[in-house]
Amino acid sequence: MSEKMPNWLKQRAYLTPERPAIITKHETLSFQELLIRVEQLADQLTTVGVRQGMHCALLIQNNIDSIVLIRALETIGAISVMLNIRLTEKELAWQMNDADVSYCFYTSDFQDKALTAGKEVQSIKLYSITQVKSLKTSSSSSRSMFKLDELHTIMYTSGTTGKPKGVMMTYGNHWWSAIGSSLNLGIAEKDRWLICVPLFHVSGLSILMRSLFYGITIVLHERFEADAVNTSIINEQVTMISVVSAMLTTMLKQLGEETYPENLRCVLLGGGPAPMPLLELCKHKRVPVFQTYGMTETASQIVTLSPEYMLSKLGSAGKPLFPAQLRIVQDGQDMERNNEGEIVVCGPNVTKGYYKRPDATEITIQQGWLHTGDMGYLDKDGFLYVLDRRSDLIISGGENIYPAEIESVLLEHPSVLEVGVCGVESERWGEVPAAVLVFEKNSFCSGIELKQFLEERLAKYKIPKVFYSVEKLPRNASMKLLRRTLKSWIKHEKLTLLH
Amino acid sequence: MSEKMPNWLKQRAYLTPERPAIITKHETLSFQELLIRVEQLADQLTTVGVRQGMHCALLIQNNIDSIVLIRALETIGAISVMLNIRLTEKELAWQMNDADVSYCFYTSDFQDKALTAGKEVQSIKLYSITQVKSLKTSSSSSRSMFKLDELHTIMYTSGTTGKPKGVMMTYGNHWWSAIGSSLNLGIAEKDRWLICVPLFHVSGLSILMRSLFYGITIVLHERFEADAVNTSIINEQVTMISVVSAMLTTMLKQLGEETYPENLRCVLLGGGPAPMPLLELCKHKRVPVFQTYGMTETASQIVTLSPEYMLSKLGSAGKPLFPAQLRIVQDGQDMERNNEGEIVVCGPNVTKGYYKRPDATEITIQQGWLHTGDMGYLDKDGFLYVLDRRSDLIISGGENIYPAEIESVLLEHPSVLEVGVCGVESERWGEVPAAVLVFEKNSFCSGIELKQFLEERLAKYKIPKVFYSVEKLPRNASMKLLRRTLKSWIKHEKLTLLH
């Protein structure tokens, strides 16, 4: 039997109506005020035909309207399909089709993108949030109870097979994720969590959840700008912030000789292994950085360093959250401490699977254990060290980039015979993608031409920053591409650069 | 499908092995050290034959051995039947028989009581914890996972029908209770929760649970002594404490002109409505008192005042914990705000029912809603004010006393024809029981004789402090005893006092 809970926002607004829920540059909303807006928008969404169980795509920027939209869909019981605003129209259309969405709601900035993408999605209805907000309302559409096993969100992630997969997240996944986090990071009434990561990512969405459950305030930034974030931390009593390495590096550079005030008690650092110099700098400047490891499939963090080990276990992602578990597996065997293997996790925050992909689900989740594909080891005290995200994954400024997806698009080019994509180091982004091509006989293409070809097919951040050509790609006996060899060839300049 | 979780203590000892788990006058144990003791005792308990699913009675005082015992039974998967040490041997035997216990474990102080009571329980095995601790161990008996719908504890509570009923508490009830509490009271790594309430009560047991989940320290007192508790708060960085009114009154008296240090952030005040003068004093002395309402059936608190309303809603028990719900019902109808009715609650911390009492369960829990029998109302902002515990319940120094139980014992006396028991005010205990008797024709009995008669049949705190005789008890048309009338007769001295 699935646990039921009172409607999260209604309950929070009943318990602590006057506490500030969201602070932006423009306004402050209490939980009660947020509830009023959400209930009104829910009624307006019902007026345009949204019903419980329907799939609705969201193409949104970070603002209060977007938060109100997410909560309104929740109160109706519709499923939010979170779209990455950096995707191309083609990619967006593909995801909306795959997710069987009936509606797409967007903030005004993305009107063109939404309308163009929407043309390729059958019988979809598209509305800007502003349009919906102008409607007269009729009915009351607010649910009183949520079931923890209901589907809440679909969020796309790619993989080795090329096409993105829709990660299904239930109400329970979000709830347990937030609870697990609180048992490690604590909860204080005066907490304020700054959001400068996208709401359509699990990093941003999970903060919305924590805010309701803990009754704490969100300080919402429309985008990441280091100086604005630093000013906010210093002037607005921010206690917690979620960042990736590239962001924190810029923030510390901008901060210069200064330090953060004591109210900042947690800098949650996710999105791939952090560079050691950054961690050393945080140690030196007494920035309370908590390394963490998680993914869309785990509804954000699943392994996080506890406060007391922040300094002594620098570089470690920590230990699992209280309700979760962690194993290191190689060839089906649990590895001894200090031995490398695949990171395998389990817990009530872990997704039940990928939307309409029983095959991929079966491979990834075995007896409740999620095989992350990432490599790591546990030290003698049981702390996780992440060595490498899954060998093919490129994490660039917090965005996941899957080589297979770029490769499959490049193979559509008439001059390209074979292609291998891998990540190369970037001081600013951590990594950026690079492509190594084998051309068709008597064919050739410049780097500029390839970029142009990709620009209308892939989000900008996915487009390789450099292109190389080679006679033959490195492959093993079973013809599997050896991406590590590819990386090493690039590093040692063994390839021909394409201009 | 029920959620599973890693073995709570093992997980906590894995996550934060070095944090102090328990501090007593005599020693400090880290979570790792606690785990080692628990695993050893679990093996010893297995050696004497304890197995998963068996019911084991506990007759324990507040000490580390008792905590180790509770956790060892948990790790084996045996069910703890928590006995109130103040019960008579007859009462203990009755509960052990009712709960189908196979074992009784006791701390040395209660050896005589346990052995005497045990004589009346068929094929029970009795051991002092010391005996078990001296055994050689063999096997490993520690479970790796707990299921939230498994039975964890049986704890007896009485009711209008006279005989106590075993409240069944699952792992999930305890878990959700602690999580609900944390979302209201917060969690800080440096928290220390002082236990001076009995471990066999839900007030004490629930602190053991919170300690594991939050990773916080218990400061354990063997018994309540106001000066020792005050010293502990001042010298041992205690941040939280659970008390009932009678205890807090004594503590403040003993404290005199002084105040508590700032580290004390939460005085959780339960066990019946608090007298207004006490709350006023707390307000004056800036004692951070959180009024709360709960019962064994809700695995401790279910309604608690949020920090920001501590002063403005003085006298209110607050609002439900985040996962729980609250209604005021009269004649099957939900009452408007400010109108009195029965307090009805619901949530994942609420018991699934009474052991082997489907009838009582069905009456008390309807469609998941627990009918508490207590009266109260919600003010215009939705805050609960508890007017009266269920009309027949007497709360004396935090112990629940059920008149029906005392009445049924007094009716066994040959001279007694009819009897009514109710609570009368006591400055020290809040309330104490009083008995009003109608004697058999030509029969009579002194108060002293009646006390002697009761002493071997009832725990001392249940024995009426005063006895009255009357010609006829106040009853309504359907012959139901009118306890409020009885109270008013006593108050206005309309009855004959028995010496």
CATH number of the structural domain spanning residue B443: 3.30.300.30
Are the beta carbons of B187 and A183 separated by less than 8 Å? yes
Burial of B448 (0-12, 13-18, 19+ CB in 10 A): exposed
From chain B, pick out residues whose CB is under 8 angstroms from the CB of A14: 319, 382
Specify the pLDDT at position B144. Answer: 96
Task: Identify whether residues A420 and A341 lie together within a single domain.
Answer: no
A307 has a chain B CB within 8 A of its CB: yes
Q: Length of chain A, please? A: 499
Task: Identify whether residues B10 and B104 lie together within a single domain.
Answer: yes
- Residue B1 clears pLDDT 50, i.e. is over it: no
Task: Identify whether residues B380 and B398 lie together within a single domain.
Answer: no
Final residue of a structural domain among B362, B384, B406: B384
In chain A, the number of structural domains is 2
Choose the mutation target among B1, B2, B5, B303 for the interface with A, i.e. most A CBs under 10 Å. B5
- Residue B485 clears pLDDT 90, i.e. is over it: no
B481 within some domain? yes
Specify the pLDDT at position A1. Answer: 45
CB neighbours of residue A20 within 10 Å: 17
Specify the pLDDT at position B43. Answer: 96
Task: Identify whether residues B366 and B456 lie together within a single domain.
Answer: no
Buried b (16+ CB within 10 A) or exposed e, A336-357: eeeeebbbbbbbbbbbebbbeb
Task: Identify whether residues B452 and B326 lie together within a single domain.
Answer: no
Nearest CA in chain B to A146: B323
Specify the pLDDT at position B389. Answer: 63
Are the beta carbons of B14 and A319 separated by less than 8 Å? yes
Angle between helices B8-15 and B202-214 (to 10 degrees): 40
B389 within some domain? no
Task: Identify whether residues A429 and A342 lie together within a single domain.
Answer: no
A464 band by pLDDT with thresholds 50, 70 and 90: very high
Which residues are paired to B468 by β-bridges?
Answer: B436, B497
Final residue of a structural domain among A354, A384, A414: A384
Final residue of a structural domain among A332, A360, A384: A384
Are the beta carbons of A183 and B348 separated by less than 8 Å? no
State how far the Cα of A374 lies from the Cα of A86, in Å rounded to an integer. Answer: 25
What does the radius of gyration of chain B's CA atoms come to, in whole angstroms? 23
B408 within some domain? yes
Task: Identify whether residues B9 and B146 lie together within a single domain.
Answer: yes
- Domain range holding A409? 394-498
Give residue-wise pLDDT tens across range B326-371: 999 988 899 999 998 899 999 999 999 999 999 999 999 999 999 9
Phi, psi of B207 (to 5 degrees): -70, -35
Task: Identify whether residues B184 and B304 lie together within a single domain.
Answer: yes
- Rounded mean pLDDT, B362-390: 89
- Residue A309 clears pLDDT 60, i.e. is over it: yes
Task: Identify whether residues A230 and A270 lie together within a single domain.
Answer: yes
- Rounded mean pLDDT, A192-214: 97
CATH number of the structural domain spanning residue B144: 3.40.50.12780
A306 has a chain B CB within 8 A of its CB: yes
> What letter would DSSP give residue B477?
T
- Residue B2 clears pLDDT 60, i.e. is over it: yes
Specify the pLDDT at position A388. Answer: 65
A53 has a chain B CB within 8 A of its CB: no
Specify the long-range contacts of residues A456-459, CB closer than 8 Å, at least 24 apart.
Answer: A456/A88, A456/A90, A457/A88, A457/A90, A457/A91, A457/A409, A457/A412, A458/A88, A458/A91, A458/A405, A458/A406, A458/A409, A459/A84, A459/A86, A459/A87, A459/A88, A459/A91
Are the beta carbons of B189 and A308 separated by less than 8 Å? yes
- Residue A31 clears pLDDT 60, i.e. is over it: yes
B325 has a chain A CB within 8 A of its CB: yes
Give residue-wise pLDDT tens across range B423-446: 998 888 888 999 999 998 888 889
Give residue-wise pLDDT tens across range B53-100: 999 999 999 999 999 999 999 999 999 999 999 899 999 999 999 999
Task: Identify whether residues A434 and A293 lie together within a single domain.
Answer: no
B262 within some domain? yes
Report the residue from A179, A189, A308 with minimal CB separation from B179.
A179
A188 has a chain B CB within 8 A of its CB: yes
Give residue-wise pLDDT tens across range A207-253: 999 999 999 999 999 999 999 999 999 999 999 999 988 889 899 99
Are the beta carbons of B308 and A19 separated by less than 8 Å? yes
From chain A, pick out residues whose CB is under 8 angstroms from the CB of B12: 322
Nearest CA in chain B to A189: B186
Specify the pLDDT at position B479. Answer: 61
B483 within some domain? yes
From chain B, pick out residues whose CB is under 8 angstroms from the CB of A187: 182-183, 186-187
Specify the pLDDT at position A157. Answer: 86
- Residue B107 clears pLDDT 90, i.e. is over it: yes
Is the separation of the CB atoms in A84 and A459 below 8 Å?
yes
Task: Identify whether residues A469 and A359 lie together within a single domain.
Answer: no
A389 within some domain? no
A482 within some domain? yes
Task: Identify whether residues B313 and B221 lie together within a single domain.
Answer: yes
Specify the pLDDT at position A440. Answer: 87
A278 within some domain? yes
Are the beta carbons of A189 and B186 separated by less than 8 Å? yes
Top-confidence residue, B373 or B161: B373
Percentage of chain A exceeding pLDDT 70 = 97
Measured between CA atoms, how close is A11 to chain B, in angstroms? 7
- Residue B456 clears pLDDT 50, i.e. is over it: yes
